[in-house]
Structure 1
Amino acid sequence: MNVPQINFFEALKIALPDYQNLAQSVAEVLEISTNEAYKKIRATSSLSLPQLIKLSDYFGVPFSYQPRQLPVVSFNYLSINREKPDMLDYLKDLLENLKLIQQRKDKHILITTDDIPIFHFFKYPELTCFKLFFWADNSSLKFDTSAISEEIIHVSQELNRIYLEIPSTEIWAKDTIHGTIEQVRYAFEAGHISDKTLAGKIVEQIRYCLTDMNMYASAAKKTIDPAHSFNWYNCDVLGSIAYLIEFKENMVCYNRFNTFNYLRTDDQFYCAQTRDWMQGLIKKSVSFSGQGEKHRNKFLYNAFSACDHLIEEMGRA
């Protein structure tokens, strides 16, 4: 039995929308009959290498072969030119991925992070502009919101809207909020932000993000729709920033690296290990959702105090 070929078609089936027939799609791409396509899917007829490449390219599904079952995991990633990063392309790629997740019937996002998940601050234009500026490492430039196009703001806010409609669980590190606060402090002290009013507005929008989080957590949902569930946890120590997308049939994992890049894999063994690790973290975490009001209020009080302290510092400068 040609197990790799069968597994490849299983991956193709999962990647297709529910309304799309696998055999018909394969037949159209390979320009063969539907009957022959079924033979390929059942592995009673072998795929040629050109056919394999054609299907993999067309559907965006990698073919994985592991000689002697070596423990190999394949990742793909969006390559960003760090010398001159194109943030619009980066955001559009995120939006395309998030829309594909939203379209699936059964989905859930599980996040571990030591920074505010990017989808939350995309709601606020000045904060979005600042984070993109800081990520792009524009250390020799002044921060100016006019450098960010209206299209970037539109795509960012669309990302926020879609994320709110996807059920999710977030595990934040103890110092998650302080990373962004320290970025603003650094930019102000280094002279990248010379406008005190603008700097204060960015910090205020961090507060708005936290207020949103409090609302989501207390209601255990991100919108008025109960299906858009939300669970928030705090864990003292996290090992990495990871996004695990759980579907009914499979999982996909995204690992952040180099600030804003990410590695993506749909290797199910790797994803299962990541899920088990995340579930272990939840057991060691404090819940901020629903009845976790006491712990949530303490966390938010400290975060709001840090924001207020920074605003006072900048005012005295």
Structure 2
Amino acid sequence: MENQQVLFFQAIKATLPDYQNLALSVAEELGISTNEAYKKIRGDSSLTFQQIIKLSDCFDVPFLYSPKKSLSVTFSYLSVNEDLDMVNYLRNLLDNLKAIKNSKEKHITITTDDIPVFHFFKYPELTSFKLFFWANSANNIEVPFNSAFLSDEIIEISKQLHNTYLEIPSTEIWSKDTITGTLEQIRYAFEAGHLADTELAVKIVEQVRYCLTDMNMYAISSKKTIDPAHTFNWYNCDVLGSISYLVDFKDRMSCYNRFNTFNYLRTEDQPYCKQTKQWMQGLIMKSVSFSGQGEKHRNKYLYHAFAECDKLLREMNGG
């Protein structure tokens, strides 16, 4: 229990801005002295069950405990109702991303066989289509694509998501078919008549190309902005097996596993996160680097990806 309590306070500290003192914040929330708060932070004094609940609710940090020899892992997730409230979903995603960005030390590692959503959010029509496709998948219905699906509020949140991600150091490991998923979604919607406006369909595919061009620019400089702190490493691995996001805060980690097309399971179980990190490091060892000097392999990958985009554009134009 003592070790879990120390880890619990470390997780709380990571959510606080630099100017906010952990002991003072805990003392204020629990109504105890600063000296007693320090004892609890060090593990010299045990938290009561009620105090754990109070701190968890206040700082939105779970207290994780597993019995000895137990292999169970606790995950949390955003519940999405039948109406699929995309605004609420995106705001929750933005809150999580901002918390990561505001942490003193952070790094995101992504393994994916689909282009990470944060790259889409720069482009309104592509964002609109992806959210439309997710909504149809979640509700098991098929309705025509309506560009009005993207409200001004969603456009604004999407821009914030994109800009926030750019400011977080990251490593992305793509599979050889990462580009295929999105293109197949567009192809299916076009052929099924859900994306009936050919001009709009062409624009969406072109925005996929823009995403790839962005990736190329990030990879060339090994950073996502002009700030050298916003590092970017891009790898290609033939076989990945899952879509995972690992956030490394140095003193703790969080892991997000995607499910149900667009949602995610989140855990801060450190043994699980450590195992995930080791798995990702193993993948990197088997991967080809696209960043920096990896120009030859990167160009070959992008040439194939652009060719797939061009093929879809020809199909849409009846070629």
Within-5 A mapping of 1:47-196? 47-81=47-81, 83-137=82-136, 139-196=141-198
Query: How many angstroms apart in 2 are the aligned matches of 1:253 and 1:291?
Result: 30
- Which residue number in structure 1 is paired with residue 21 of structure 2? 21
Q: By how many angstroms is 1:39 displaced?
A: 3.3
Larger mean CA deviation between 45-54 and 260-269 belongs to 45-54
- Deviation track 1:256-280 (CA, whole Å, cap 9, x = no partner) reads 1111111111122111111111111
Asked if 1:211 corresponds to 2:213, the answer is yes
Q: How does 1:142-291 map to 2 (within 5 A)?
A: 142-291=144-293
Structure 1 vs Structure 2 CA RMSD: 1.6
TM-score for the superposition, normalised by structure 1: 0.95
Partner in structure 2 of residue 10 of structure 1:
10
CA–CA distance in structure 2, aligned partners of residues 3 and 227 of structure 1: 33
The question of whether the paired residues in 1 share the 8 Å contact of 2:253 and 2:268 is answered with yes
Q: Deviations over 1:73-99 (max 9, x none)?
A: 221111112x32111111111111111
Structure 1 window deviating more from structure 2 (191-200 vs 72-81): it is: 72-81
Residue 176 (structure 1) shift: 0.3
1:204-223 per-residue CA deviation (whole Å, 9 max, x = no partner) reads 00011111111111111111
Listed as ranges, the gaps of 5+ residues in structure 1 are: none
2: distance between equivalents of 1:170 and 1:98? 16
Task: Provide, for residues 98-138 of structure 1, a one-character-per-residue CA deviation record: whole Å limited to 9, x for no partner.
Answer: 11111122211111000000000110000000000001116
> What displacement does 1:69 show?
4.1
1:7 & 1:99 partners in 2: Cα distance? 22
State percent identity of aligned pairs. 68
Structure 2: unaligned runs, 5 residues or longer: none
Question: What per-residue deviation string (whole Å, max 9, x for no partner) do you get for residues 2-36 of structure 1?
Answer: 44433333333333332222221111111222233
Greater shift in the superposed pair: 129-138 or 65-74: 65-74
Of 195-204 and 53-62, more deviation after overlay is shown by 53-62
CA distance, structure 1, for counterparts of residue 3 and residue 306 of structure 2: 55
Match of 2:34 in 1: 34
Equivalenced residue count is 316
> When the two structures are superposed, what TM-score results if normalisation uses the length of structure 2?
0.94
What displacement does 1:44 show?
4.0
**Within 2, Cα distance between the matches of 1:188 and 1:4?**
52
Superimposed CA distance per residue, residues 228-274 of structure 1 (whole angstroms, 9 cap, x where no aligned partner): 11111111001100011112222111111111111111122111111
Partner of 2:235, secondary structure, is strand
Q: Counterpart of 2:118 in 1: which secondary structure?
A: helix
SS at match of 2:68: helix
Distance 1:295 1:68, change over 3 A: closer
Secondary structure of the 2:317 match is helix
Render the CA deviation track for 1:287-309: whole Å, top value 9, x for unaligned: 11111111111111111111111
Paired residue secondary structure (2:98): helix
CA distance 1:51–1:303, shift in 2 (3 Å): same
Q: 1:299 aligns to what?
A: 301
**SS of the counterpart of 2:17?**
coil
Name the SS for the 1:237 alignment partner.
coil
- 2:313 aligned residue: 311
Answer whether contact 2:110 2:173 (CA < 8 A) is retained: yes
| Matched letter for residue 95 of structure 1 | L
Secondary structure, aligned partner of 1:233: strand
Contact 2:11 2:252 (C-alpha < 8 Å) held by counterparts: no
Give secondary structure in 2 for the equivalent of 1:61: coil
- Answer yes or no: is the 8 Å Cα contact 2:15–2:103 preserved in 1: no
Query: Are residues 45 and 170 of structure 1, via their aligned partners in 2, closer, same or farther at CA, if it must alter by over 3 Å?
Result: closer
Q: How many angstroms apart in 1 are the aligned matches of 2:2 and 2:179?
A: 50
